[in-house]
Amino acid sequence: MMANPAKTFLSVILIIDNERFANQLSLELPRLYDYVKQTFKDFEFILVNNLGKSISDDKFEQLDADIRQNTFILNLSQQTHFNNAVLAGFDRSNGDYTLLLEHDFFEDLNLIGLLYEQTQTGNDIVYLRGNRKKLGFFSNILYKSFIRILGRYSDLKLDAHAHNTRLISRRALNSLLRLRENVRFMKALYAVVGYNSSYINVEKSVSHTDRTLGEQFRTSLLAITSFSTFLRSLMLWIFVLSLGILFVVISNTLLVKFTNYDIFGAYHEAVPGWAFLVVLSSTFFAITCLNLYIISVYLSNIYQEIKKRPLYIIESIKRI
């Protein structure tokens, strides 16, 4: 904790997405309030209710008036994806800095002060980074493939061990809010925005045990299609492969037609019209793959246009 409260307005966003955390709010909010009050001059708590139902007022009746005065609850009309709930909180944030705080880090609130101190060294985004990632066997294969694809087919610099908890400056958040994409993968959008980033190592590992393999696959597919050129490159390689198959098939067909032996040395009786049909089918297969690749290029370009991502983001302007 800092010796003197920072002259900073801090917005703290809490995503309520499970009953356990909702039931603990009456105990956790006073602890959070006491810490933040001693650390920052001004602050607000934004609770995003992503349970799909209202939270009973009884859970907040025992809270002090000062805590309730600085706390706002956003009740979403229906349960939505975590990233969309985060966006709702970001839209409501008014602070000089905005903290997205996960439930798991309430046990060590001193991390909030450490995150803020990191921002005072020229960093606009500071996040918590785990030492390892707890995943099942198939989830581990999926995640490693996902990270490798994004690293190879995009310009994004993603941290595979980053937690969702992070502190964001006002200017970085304003730039982030310009990216009004309906299909969102927040960790990639942080990378798209840019700005100086840093992290603080924590012992707690990043875990996706609360998500099914199907949900992890859909999230990975979303990020790959939205932030990389992997599928377009895949269609190109399929077209190149089809050309190789075309060359081999035509060579084998002509060998059988004129020598009655295939490329493996096996004897075959040439059938009239067979060579023509094989060559024709192989040619159309290659042409189809070419057309699919061309269509994928067009769709990729259209997708990039409709997302309306800014072509550049100005970090600052200085007179020299």
pLDDT tens digits, residue range 59-116? 677 777 787 888 888 888 888 888 888 888 898 898 899 999 888 888 888 888 888 8
Q: What does the pLDDT read at residue 167?
A: 93
Q: How would you class 90 by CB atoms within 10 Å of its CB: exposed for 0-12, middle for 13-18, buried for 19 or more? A: buried
For residue 2, the model assigns a pLDDT of 53
For β-strands 162-169 and 125-130, DSSP reports them as antiparallel
Main-chain phi, psi angles of 72, to 5 degrees: -125, 140
Torsion angle of the four alpha carbons 135, 137, 142, 146, in this order, in degrees rounded to the nearest 10: 50
Range name among 163-172, 209-218, 251-260 with the lowest pLDDT average: 209-218
Residue 104 falls inside a structural domain:
yes
Give the per-residue pLDDT at 237.
85
What distances in angstroms separate CA 310 from CA 92, 125, 294, 306, 313, one per listed residue? Answer: 22, 19, 26, 11, 7
What pLDDT is stored for residue 168 in this prediction? 92
Based on the fold, state whether residues 89 and 197 are members of the same structural domain: yes
User: E strand or H helix at 201, and its extent?
Assistant: strand 197-202
Q: Which residue has the higher pLDDT, 265 or 75?
A: 75
292: domain range?
A: 230-306
Helix, strand, coil percent content, the chain, rounded in steps of 5: 50, 20, 30
Residue 217, token pair as written in the block: 């696959």
Judge whether residue 316 has pLDDT over 60.
Answer: no
314-319 mean pLDDT? 51
Q: CB neighbours of 187 closer than 8 A, spacing ≥ 6?
A: 158, 159, 162, 164
Same domain for 53 and 193, yes or no, is yes
Q: Of 184, 202, 220, at which residue does a domain stop?
A: 202
Query: Do 176 and 299 belong to one domain?
Result: no
pLDDT of residue 312: 45
- Between 319 and 256, name the one with better pLDDT: 256
In a domain, 148, yes or no: no
Whether the predicted pLDDT of 211 surpasses 60 = no
Tell whether the model's pLDDT for residue 318 goes beyond 60. Answer: no
Domain count across the chain: 2
Q: Is residue 215 part of a domain?
A: no
| 182 and 64, same domain (yes or no) | yes
Is 266 in a helix, a strand, or coil?
coil
Structure tokens at 26: 């009456």
DSSP letters spanning 105-144 = GTT-THHHHHHHHHHTTT-SEEEEEES-EE--HHHHHHHH
Are residue 114 and residue 183 in the same domain, yes or no?
yes
Take residue 9 and report the two structure tokens written for it: 């307005």
Does the pLDDT at position 311 exceed 60? no
pLDDT at 219 over 80: no
Same domain for 107 and 198, yes or no, is yes
Q: Does 316 or 228 have the greater pLDDT score?
A: 228
C-alpha 216/C-alpha 142 separation (Å) is 8
- Token representation of residue 25: 């709010």
For residue 1, tell me if it sits in a domain. no
Q: Does a structural domain hold residue 195?
A: yes
More confident site: 242 or 212: 242
Q: Is residue 254 part of a domain?
A: yes
Does 214 reside within a domain? Answer: no
Q: What is the pLDDT of residues 224-260, one digit of tens each?
A: 767 667 777 888 888 888 888 888 888 888 887 778 7
b/e per residue 147-166 (b: at least 16 CB within 10 A): bebbeebbebebbbbbbbbb
Please tell me the predicted confidence (pLDDT) of residue 100: 92
Q: Report yes or no: 206 and 158 within 8 Å, Cβ to Cβ.
A: no
> Which residue carries 């800095």 as its tokens?
97
Mean pLDDT across the chain: 78
Does the pLDDT value for residue 3 go beyond 50?
Answer: no
Residues 172 and 280 in one domain: no
Are 166 and 250 found together in one domain? no
Task: Measure CA 240 to chain center.
Answer: 31
Q: What is the pLDDT of residues 20-50, one digit of tens each?
A: 887 777 788 888 888 888 888 888 888 888 8
Q: What is the CATH number of the domain that holds 168?
A: 3.90.550.10
Same domain, 101 and 164: yes
Same domain, 97 and 236: no
237 & 296 share domain: yes
